[in-house]
Amino acid sequence: MIRMALTKGRIEEKALEMLTACGYDLSSLSPENRGRKLLFRAENAPLEIVLAKSADVITYVSHGVCDCGIVGEDTIMESDGRFYELLDLNFSRCRFALAGPVGKYQSFISGYGHKVIASKYPAVTKSYFEGRGFDVEIVKIEGSVELAPILGLSDAIVDIVETGSTLKANGLEVWEEVADVSARLIANTVSVKMKKSDLDSLMSKLRTQIK
């Protein structure tokens, strides 16, 4: 039996499509069957699916209560649990970007003034700027990060960008690409060893469906 944690929401939809295409019968998860349950069994294979919030997928997998999980690279970059990152499933693709007010990029990177970055992802932001040898102050924002530079709290933001239309509507533009992110298959370090054949077979099925 393999227990897999799936990130609720957009990743879940695509992942379920992918798993179904791999031949797993996940009809118990269909909207008409699922009700308010969070734990499901495949009808035709020893696979159990748990629905969880993205950061919790990592917590469950690190602790080994789930053998593997599907979660976005953005969440992985922000966390520091111990697990194996095995496959890029190549969906839910978007990017982390440094963005700021249109036309202000030059003054941002050339000035020596104190710089403030707002982000939902302080760890990603910190490691990005550390890697560049740039000393910035990071302010954690929970909701629409685009507000921070508009309101004058920060000089720039680090955030997930998909189409860029939210940035544009708020007078912001992408300044630098921080990282490419997409959905990943992660696994518990012990499960990979103790349940090698089960996980190997799951992985080889998933590989055939990666687009």
Partner 1 sequence: MSKNNRSVPEGTRDIIFSEARLERDISERLAEVFEAAGFSEIRTPAVEYYDVFDYPGQAISQDEMYKLTDSSGNLIVMRADNTTPVARIAATRLQSERLPLMIRYCQNVWRISRGYSGRRSEILQSGAELIGAGGMKGDLICLSLALDALRSLGAEYKLELGCVGYYDALIRSLPLTDEEKSEVRRYVDAKNTVKLAAIGRKLRGSGTAEGFDRIRRLPLLYGGGEIFKEAEALAHDNEGALGALGYLRGLYDALCSAGFGDRVIIDLGMVHSIDYYTGTLFAGYIEGAGEPVLRGGRYDNLIDNFGRENIPAIGFAINVSLAADALRSSADAEAAPDVIIHFGGEDIKEALKQADMLRRDGLCAALSCFDALAQTIDFARERGIKKAIIIENGDARTVEVGKEAE
* Binding-site ranges for partner 1 (CB under 8 A): 59, 62-65, 73, 80-88, 184, 188-194, 196
Q: Which is nearer to partner 1, 136 or 187 (CB)?
A: 187
Q: What is the smallest separation between the CB atom of 205 and partner 1, expressed in angstroms?
A: 17
DSSP 11: H
Q: Which is nearer to partner 1, 44 or 189 (CB)?
A: 189
Q: What is the smallest separation between the CB atom of 188 and partner 1, expressed in angstroms?
A: 6
Q: Which is nearer to partner 1, 116 or 123 (CB)?
A: 123
Give CA separation, 94 vs 73, 155, 160, 181, in Å. Answer: 10, 23, 7, 5
Tokens of 121: 């992802």
The three-state secondary structure class of 208 is helix
Q: Which is nearer to partner 1, 21 or 190 (CB)?
A: 190
Bridge partners, 6 (sequence order):
51, 70
Distance CA 190, CA 181 (A): 26
CB 168, CB 40: distance < 8 Å? no
Angle, CA of 129, 133 and 135, to the nearest 5°: 65
Q: 10 Å Cβ neighbour count for 104? A: 17
Q: Which is nearer to partner 1, 82 or 140 (CB)?
A: 82
